[in-house]
């Protein structure tokens, strides 16, 4: 008899936990993703469930801690510096949903970094012409100056003309080289680098041979709930204070 009571109580407890989880999952999905950081309970719930999803699906590229990998151009997700958007949960969710250059029709795929040392720097845009090795060197000096690092003054002015002129760099990275998160063009005037260590050699590799990183689309491979949990987990690691403050 006592065993039966224990069994019933345990079943009720499991059912209650399951019901609470289902309720929270529904709440999570129906909420405005951008409002979720303000809901400590739902945020904790999502982050708890998002972590194993991150480890299973994202850690292979972004690393277990989400700090990325500058050798392979995998962005650091913990530094609150966003290539696409401004780091709102809804924007993170969109990247997870549709990916970046993932071939999903709704993916972020407006721009690629052309390979200026190749005869056809961007096969998708015949207007972009190659640069000479000297031109590339000048653009690098211009970027060094934009980052406040020592640079050859004469080359800087030539590089500036190229950057804002026939090199076409301004078109994505904007005239001041501060980038454009609406198309995933990185800020080239700060110390954060996506590829390499920010040295002249690393910049040369990017300008000469191009870049076009890919992030897969998960919308058809993961449930909407998983994607939201993942988005909030990524949000939490990029806003370390969020979880402590509960806001």
Interaction mask 161-190, other proteins, x per CB under 8 A? ------------------------------
CA-based R_g, the chain, Å: 23
Stretch that binds other proteins, among 10-18, 85-93, 138-146, 172-180 (CB under 8 A): 85-93
Single residue of 34, 125, 176, 197 touching other proteins by CB under 8 A: 34
Binding of residue 50 to other proteins (CB under 8 A): no
Binding of residue 214 to other proteins (CB under 8 A): yes
Q: Which is nearer to other proteins, 178 or 211 (CB)?
A: 211
Give the angle subtended at the CA of 123 by the CAs of 120 and 124, to the nearest 5°.
Answer: 140
Instruction: Phi first, then psi: give them for residue 38, nearest 5 degrees.
Output: -85, -5
For other proteins (CB under 8 A), the number of binding residues is 50
Nearest CA to 195 out of 95, 101, 90, 72 is that of: 72
**Least distance from other proteins to the Cβ atom of residue 10, Å:** 28
Binding of residue 117 to other proteins (CB under 8 A): yes
Binding of residue 247 to other proteins (CB under 8 A): no
Q: Which is nearer to other proteins, 11 or 72 (CB)?
A: 72
Q: What is the DSSP string of 44-112?
A: HHHHHHHHHHHHHHTHHHH-TTS--BTTTTBPPSSS---SSSS--HHHHHHHHHH-BSSS-TTSB-S--
Binding of residue 199 to other proteins (CB under 8 A): no
Q: Which is nearer to other proteins, 33 or 114 (CB)?
A: 33
Binding of residue 16 to other proteins (CB under 8 A): no
- What are the beta bridge partners of residue 211? 113
8 Å CB contact between 46 and 232: yes
Single residue of 11, 65, 80, 132 touching other proteins by CB under 8 A: 132
Helix (H, G, I), strand (E, B) or coil at 113: strand
8 Å CB contact between 13 and 3: no
Distance CA 73, CA 100 (A): 13
Q: 204: which residues sit within 8 A by CB, 6+ positions away?
A: 136, 137, 140
Q: Which is nearer to other proteins, 112 or 146 (CB)?
A: 112
At 2, list the tokens. 């006592």
Length of the chain: 247
Single residue of 79, 130, 147, 183 touching other proteins by CB under 8 A: 130
Binding of residue 154 to other proteins (CB under 8 A): no
- Residues near other proteins (CB under 8 A) are 25-26, 28-30, 32-35, 60-61, 71-73, 88, 90, 93-94, 97, 99, 102-106, 117-119, 130, 132-134, 195, 205, 208-209, 211-214, 216-221, 223-225, 227
């Amino acid at each position: 008899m006592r065993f039966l009571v224990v069994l019933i109580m345990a079943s009720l407890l499991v059912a209650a936990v399951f019901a609470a989880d289902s309720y929270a999952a529904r709440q999570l999905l129906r909420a405005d993703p951008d409002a979720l950081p303000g809901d400590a309970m739902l945020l904790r719930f999502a982050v708890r469930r998002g972590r194993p999803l991150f480890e299973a699906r994202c850690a292979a590229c972004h690393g277990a801690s989400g700090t990325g990998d500058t050798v392979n151009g995998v962005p650091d997700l913990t530094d609150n510096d966003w290539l696409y958007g401004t780091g709102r949960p809804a924007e993170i969710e969109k990247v997870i949903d549709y990916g970046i250059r993932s071939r999903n029709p709704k993916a972020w795929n407006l721009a690629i970094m052309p390979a200026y040392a190749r005869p056809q720097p961007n096969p998708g845009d015949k207007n972009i012409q190659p640069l000479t090795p000297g031109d590339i060197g000048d653009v690098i000096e211009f970027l060094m100056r934009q980052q406040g690092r020592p640079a050859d003054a004469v080359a800087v002015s030539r590089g500036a003309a190229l950057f804002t002129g026939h090199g076409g760099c301004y078109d994505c990275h904007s005239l001041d080289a501060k980038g454009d998160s609406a198309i995933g063009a990185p800020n080239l005037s700060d110390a954060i680098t996506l590829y390499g260590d920010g040295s002249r050699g690393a910049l040369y590799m990017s300008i000469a041979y191009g870049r076009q990183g890919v992030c897969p689309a998960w919308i058809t491979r993961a449930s909407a709930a998983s994607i939201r949990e993942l988005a909030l987990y990524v949000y939490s690691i990029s806003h370390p204070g969020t979880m402590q403050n509960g806001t």
